[in-house]
A = this chain, B = another copy of it.
């Protein structure tokens, strides 16, 4: 059986924690060699540019009984974390996603996962590092209003991409997609279309990864025609991250997953800040309180927090019973007001 008809499966994890009101993912700084560690111990190709990547490793079909167990094992080895909540995101399998494939290596499939935890569970003594996810997707953070990068860089670049379309029809298609994904031309901004936006930017050649994947060797995004749009990642890891953000923003609406990111007790403001961090937008405080309290998502503990400078707040905990009362317990987000 030739190399080219073999398949290797890599597992990738977006490991998320929210600390200091900032959603952070665990990244490894690494060279862009293959996902695959050859089983025969042969030398890996020398790493190219160092670049951020998600923790990942191959599925060992002989050892790993399930995909999730394989993922947990790899994360433990690479980062020292014993992950709790885990959710599968998507499986990517386009040819030549991995640079090694182009050199005649085996076909690579990568399965993306999302894991939620708290930063304090991380052991030391590891090369892993927490980094704000908005470093990679800066246009997704609307907490301080419309991100500048949108008007200053993205919009002009996307307009240019529309203009270089083959014909009028193709241009119109591009315009429609851009308008819907980025809330231009009168369309509203939709906080859930994170993946749409990243993929559009990739297709338009506006993120570093696109140029790299098209064959320019060793490109890191620095030398793009536009200034680089967000921090690039190796392989398709940024696409996986975008998938994770999309999925999570959608999921908090109908499942109480936020609590995986919080300590056992918390104030309502802490809870709100975490939701805002994920959603990338601010929420109305009083309404948020009503939502989670009347919605039965939380219950007071009677204890007060050592307030950080104001009236002390009551400490709440997640109310597990809500699961049997309501079909979809979560925190729905308002549609973003237009700016």
Is A324 positioned at the interface, with any CB of B under 8 Å from its CB? yes
Looking at A2, A7, A191, A335, the one whose CB has the most chain B CB atoms below 10 A away is A7
Task: Assess the B7–A61 pair: CB atoms within 8 A.
Answer: yes
Q: Given A185-B324, A328-B190, verify A61-B91 contact (CB < 8 Å).
A: no
The A contact surface, by secondary structure, is loop
Range of interface residues on chain A?
35 or more
Task: Assess the B5–A62 pair: CB atoms within 8 A.
Answer: yes
Task: Assess the A7–B59 pair: CB atoms within 8 A.
Answer: yes
- Provide the residues of chain B in CB contact with A192, threshold 8 Å: 254, 327-328
Looking at A9, A39, A192, A324, the one whose CB has the most chain B CB atoms below 10 A away is A324
Q: Given A8-B7, A324-B179, A327-B188, verify A95-B107 contact (CB < 8 Å).
A: no
Number of identical protomers? 2
Pick 15 A–B contacts, CB within 8 A, sort by A: A5-B60, A6-B7, A7-B59, A9-B93, A59-B93, A66-B95, A67-B91, A88-B90, A176-B323, A187-B324, A189-B327, A191-B327, A192-B328, A193-B327, A327-B335
Is A94 positioned at the interface, with any CB of B under 8 Å from its CB? yes
Contact with B along A76-97 (1 / 0, CB 8 A): 0000000000001011011100
CB distance from A16 to the nearest CB of B (A): 20
Is A111 positioned at the interface, with any CB of B under 8 Å from its CB? yes
A310 to B167, CA, bound (A): 48
